[in-house]
Structure 1
Amino acid sequence: MRTFLKTGAPAMLILLFAYAAISKLAVLRQFRHEMHNQNFPPEAADALTFLIPAVEITAVILLLTEKWLRAGLVLSVILMTLFTGYIGLVLAGYWDRVPCSCGGVLRNMSWQAHFLFNLFFLALSLAAVALPYKGKAENLRKE
């Protein structure tokens, strides 16, 4: 399990965030429209249209880099907490209307299924970030 969390979890998160960012950027006009249909002020929707894919790409880059892997996992926890929390608010009826769904394959999921999907990736991120990661310098000191 430890080996899976050290290698498989980052790989799965890379696939998730790369797919998410690419699917948003591929249909940027549609994604912008969907952001404006969310429960955000228009200015926030404009900023998030570019910020969300940029942060997802940043997470991918960090997760691909051994030196920055832990930072990528922490960013994954933050992103998945925010995304899961937002869906939780939608499911709890926090807003007077339900915004449109996410893009790509996730568009076909119900809000409940998407919430469970996000909980899985949040748990995966938390488990992976909890593992001790030793850098090369620490390994050399012990030899």
Structure 2
Amino acid sequence: MKALIKFTVPLLLILLFTYAAASKLLDIGRFRLQLYLQPFPHWFADLLLYLLPALELALALLLCIPRWRLIALISSACLLAVFTVYISLALLHFWDEVPCSCGGILNRMSWNVHLAFNWAFILAAITAIALHLTDNQAAKPPASP
């Protein structure tokens, strides 16, 4: 079961981040417009326009490399946590109205569904991180007295 989780979670994250980045880049004009409607300055939206897809693709790539997988899992959980905080603030009506700047099918989710979706991926990433850490601890030789 551990091996299945350690294989499946990175694969799901790779699919998620690749899909999210591709949908943003394939309709970059729409993504830019949605970012400009967000409750932050346009200069920050311009930065996110390229930074978010690049980060998502970089994480997808790093998740493919066993040596970098643990760092990529931790980074993935952190990125998803940032998105989740943002979604939570939207649900709490911190802003008047915030359009989702996600792409593709993710854009069609309600805020509540999006929040549950993110939490599911965060918990999956944390589980995979824990399994990687326990395997790394078990692989270390005992300390000499």
Q: Partner amino acid for 1:88?
A: S
| Corresponding position of 2:57 | 57
Change beyond 3 A, Cα 1:100–1:66: closer
Q: Is the 8 A contact 2:62 2:69 kept in 1?
A: yes
Structure 2 residue aligned with 1:19: 19
* Residue-by-residue CA offset, 1:39-59 (whole Å, 9 max, x unaligned): 111100000010000110110
**Correspondence for 1:94:** 94
Q: CA deviation at 1:108?
A: 1.6
What stretches of structure 2 of length at least 5 have no aligned partner? none
**Is contact 1:37–1:100 with CA below 8 Å preserved after alignment?**
no
State the match for 1:130 in structure 2. Answer: 130
TM-score by length of 2: 0.88
2:104 alignment counterpart: 104
Instruction: After TM superposition, give the deviation of residue 100 of structure 1 in Å.
Output: 4.0
Deviation digits for residues 25-51 of structure 1 (CA, Å, limit 9, x no counterpart): 111111111111111111000000100
**Residue in 2 aligned with 1:28?**
28
| AA at the equivalent of 2:54 | A
- Which consecutive unaligned segments of at least 5 residues does structure 1 have? none
* Paired residue secondary structure (2:96): coil
Equivalent residues, number: 139
Residues 77 and 122 in structure 1, CA contact (< 8 A), matched pair in contact too: yes
Identity %: 42
Report how far residue 101 of structure 1 moved.
5.1
Contact 2:21 2:56 (C-alpha < 8 Å) held by counterparts: yes
Give me the CA root mean square deviation: 1.8
Distance 1:32 1:101 in 2: 9
